């Protein structure tokens, strides 16, 4: 399982040829999934770019989808009343609030119709402001993570209580018929910590937060030096 921003995708959203070749090569040997805080359509787009046909994970672990059809295999949805509270509070403080509602990406909360929300994303001006929101919502209702995208912009991601990339890892492992402890994961952010905690092998990108490095089984180079590709070559392709 591979995180996207800062792991596979650099600032220009164009993975290098080496990373593409490594992912394509790995997918010919074992199931490979992207695991991202990005929404369903984004993850499907990059999965198809890499030629991945198996289940993929979006919405910070809340959605597993088929990249060929773009349809969700399963979703972990926020309680509608909780989602309305989260959106309302964030609209007053964030410069931008985005949601995924019944699989649709919505960049204006006024356009939410179904309130079948898997993730609420709110943009903040800096790390300190984003991280100050991590504990604002009750943990029994909402899982909240501070994240930074490949442009260096800070967000918080809100999903249903207990839903995170560990959920995505478990869903993916079950779908492909392996134990979650057999997974290898590669990531670089705080929201990757849960999947590192459940996977048997966790490869942290150079520059990853200390929380990720402390639970990683190995380190690899950073995004500018094809770290994800190097990790796949070493641990999957045996090069």
Chain segment 73-96, per-residue pLDDT in tens: 999 999 999 999 999 999 999 999
Q: Is the pTM of this model over 0.85?
A: yes
Give pLDDT tens digits for 174-195.
999 999 999 999 999 999 999 9
- The SS3 of residue 159 is strand
Chain mean pLDDT for the chain: 95
Phi-psi region of 112 (alpha: psi -120 to 50; beta: other; left: phi over 0): beta
Confidence of residue 149 (pLDDT cuts 50, 70, 90): confident
Q: Render 147-158 in DSSP notation, one character per residue.
A: EE-TTS-EEEEE
Give pLDDT tens digits for 192-219.
999 999 999 999 999 999 999 999 999 9
What pLDDT score was predicted for residue 75? 97
Distance CA 204, CA 192 (A): 9
Confidence of residue 151 (pLDDT cuts 50, 70, 90): confident
Q: Render 8-70 in DSSP notation, one character per residue.
A: TB-TTS---HHHHHHHHHHHTTS---BB-SS-HHHHHHHHHHTT--S-EEEGGGTEEE-TTT-
Distance CA 42, CA 61 (A): 14
Distance CA 40, CA 56 (A): 9
């Amino acid at each position: 399982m591979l995180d996207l921003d800062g792991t596979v995708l650099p600032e220009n959203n164009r993975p290098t040829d080496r990373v593409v070749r490594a992912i394509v090569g790995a997918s010919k040997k074992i199931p490979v999934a992207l695991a991202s805080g990005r929404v369903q359509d984004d993850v499907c787009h990059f999965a198809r770019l890499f030629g991945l046909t198996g289940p993929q994970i979006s919405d910070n672990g809340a959605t597993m989808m088929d990249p060929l059809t773009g349809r969700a295999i399963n979703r972990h949805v926020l309680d509608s009343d909780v989602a309305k509270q989260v959106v309302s509070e964030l609209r007053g403080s964030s410069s931008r609030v985005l949601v995924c509602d019944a699989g649709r990406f919505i960049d204006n909360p006024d356009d939410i119709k179904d309130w079948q929300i898997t993730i609420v994303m709110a943009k903040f001006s800096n790390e300190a402001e984003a991280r100050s929101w991590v504990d604002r919502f009750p943990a029994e209702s909402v899982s909240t993570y501070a994240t930074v995208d490949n442009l260096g912009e800070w967000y918080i991601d809100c999903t249903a209580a207990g839903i995170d990339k560990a959920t995505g890892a478990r869903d993916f492992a079950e779908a492909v018929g392996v134990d979650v402890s057999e997974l290898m994961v590669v990531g670089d952010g705080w929201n990757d910590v849960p999947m590192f905690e459940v996977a048997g092998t966790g490869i942290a990108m150079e520059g990853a937060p200390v929380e990720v490095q402390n639970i990683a089984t190995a380190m690899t180079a950073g995004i500018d030096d094809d770290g994800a590709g190097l990790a796949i070559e070493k641990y999957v392709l045996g090069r």
